[in-house]
Amino acid sequence: MSAAETTAAEPTAAETSVQAPRDPLPRAGWRVVAAKELGDHLLSVRFVVLLIVLGLAAAIPVYFAADQIRSLAPQASGAAAVFLALFTFSVPEIQNQSVFTFIGVVAPLLGLAFAFDAVNGERSEGTLPRLLAQPIHRDDVINGKFVAGMAVIGLVLASVILFIAGFGMLRLGIVPHASEVLRLVAWVLVTFLYVALWLAFGLLLSVLIRRAATAALVGFGIWLLVTIFGGLITNFLGGLVAPAANATPDQILSSLQLQELITRFLPTTLYNEVSTALLSPSTALVGLPGTIGQVQQAQQQIPALLTLDQSMLLVWPQVVALVALAVICFAAAYVAFMRQEVRA
């Protein structure tokens, strides 16, 4: 073969550049974004402040509960699930609140604080167009920010719960049984899911509202409305459907079930019901019975301790509702972010 034929057979540089496949975008771009966001969260002041706030919110009722349990130690000798009483004991000094109710009020602040400026903060600083110009998929940005928020929330919750458990063992001198540890782990996972719901809601506000300050005001206002005034609102709505004075027992039960359904529109109600069932093995019912016959059966039922799987079956609808709310909030934030126009 001559030199001319060899040269003609070899592709030119232009043809090589056209035929060469382009480098695909990295599939784990969300990991890069999540690692960067996680580092920023851990080094931020808000992380330290929220860790202290949640720690105090859990430590104060634990301290009083431990004193009450120690004073009742002779009567509680040999009783089951004494260690879990640290989390469920109602403390008179703080308006009969318990550890899990305090955490249920304060923990949503974690989700809102780590998400209200996740997207609009980048937009206001002018870094969002440059971030999206990187060789990553667009959805890697919102996925990475959500994963980073969940990671730091899990770290805070694990630290606080381990502190409570260690303090309880030192204060009471009680080592939890394996069944109590499993119930505590299940409760921590449910708490993590509950805070993830507020994280997804804060991320949705960050996508829809341009200014971070406005998103924070709306998010914390809704948190205040749900956790503080939600019970007053549901009680008012429940009073509107209250049974008449001459109502039959079936009508009274139906009215009470409707009032209970109204209260379950609040995520705090769902979380409190799940926490009660998981942390109190003696809880056999978290809602009203469906019929008068079931009411009579519940009154005649012999008190017994449920296993963990029985307690989970008891509150499985509430857990599914929390999962659904979290998925809806994150899906709405995802769709809104993917459809938004980002100008350089």
Interatomic CA distance for residues 249 and 48, integer angstroms: 53
Q: What's the whole-number average pLDDT of the chain?
A: 78
pLDDT digits (tens, 9 = 90+) for 16-38: 444 444 545 556 778 888 888 88
* Higher pLDDT, residue 187 or 246: 187
Residue 8 has what pLDDT? 47
* Higher pLDDT, residue 246 or 229: 229
Asked if pLDDT for residue 213 goes beyond 60, the answer is yes
Beta bridge partners of 97: 91
Residue 67: is it exposed, middle or buried by C-beta count within 10 angstroms (0-12/13-18/19+)?
Answer: middle
Residue 101 has what pLDDT? 83
Interatomic CA distance for residues 156 and 150, integer angstroms: 10
Q: Per mean pLDDT, which range of 60-64, 71-75, 206-210 is the poorest? A: 71-75
Local confidence band at 107 (pLDDT 50, 70, 90 cut-offs): confident
User: Does residue 137 lie within any of the structural domains?
Assistant: yes
Interatomic CA distance for residues 226 and 173, integer angstroms: 38
Q: Per mean pLDDT, which range of 30-44, 59-73, 149-163, 181-195 is the poorest? A: 59-73
Reading the block at residue 52, the tokens are 């202290």
Asked if pLDDT for residue 3 goes beyond 80, the answer is no
Asked if pLDDT for residue 336 goes beyond 80, the answer is yes
User: Does residue 41 lie within any of the structural domains?
Assistant: yes
Local confidence band at 238 (pLDDT 50, 70, 90 cut-offs): low
Position 184: which residue type?
Answer: L
Query: pTM of the full predicted structure?
Result: 0.82
Interatomic CA distance for residues 8 and 30, integer angstroms: 46
User: Does residue 54 lie within any of the structural domains?
Assistant: yes
Cβ atoms of 169 and 143 closer than 8 Å: no
The residue among 85, 54, 310 whose CA lies nearest residue 195 is 54
* Higher pLDDT, residue 152 or 287: 152
User: Does residue 23 lie within any of the structural domains?
Assistant: no
Residue 126 Ramachandran class (φ > 0 left, ψ -120 to 50 alpha, else beta)? left
**Domain that residue 128 falls in:** 28-228+304-339
User: Does residue 296 lie within any of the structural domains?
Assistant: no
Asked if pLDDT for residue 250 goes beyond 90, the answer is no
User: Does residue 252 lie within any of the structural domains?
Assistant: no
Asked if pLDDT for residue 341 goes beyond 60, the answer is yes
Residue 245 has what pLDDT? 63
Local confidence band at 207 (pLDDT 50, 70, 90 cut-offs): very high
Chain centroid to Cα 3, Å, comes to 72
Asked if pLDDT for residue 316 goes beyond 50, the answer is yes
Asked if pLDDT for residue 225 goes beyond 90, the answer is no
Tokens 């480098």 map to which residue?
Answer: 23
User: Does residue 238 lie within any of the structural domains?
Assistant: no
Local confidence band at 299 (pLDDT 50, 70, 90 cut-offs): low
User: Does residue 292 lie within any of the structural domains?
Assistant: no
Averaged pLDDT for residues 37-66: 84
Local confidence band at 145 (pLDDT 50, 70, 90 cut-offs): very high
Task: Report the number of distinct structural domains present in the chain.
Answer: 1
Compute the Cα dihedral for 250, 251, 254, 260 and give only its sign.
Answer: negative
The residue among 291, 111, 121 whose CA lies nearest residue 193 is 111
Beta bridge partners of 91: 97
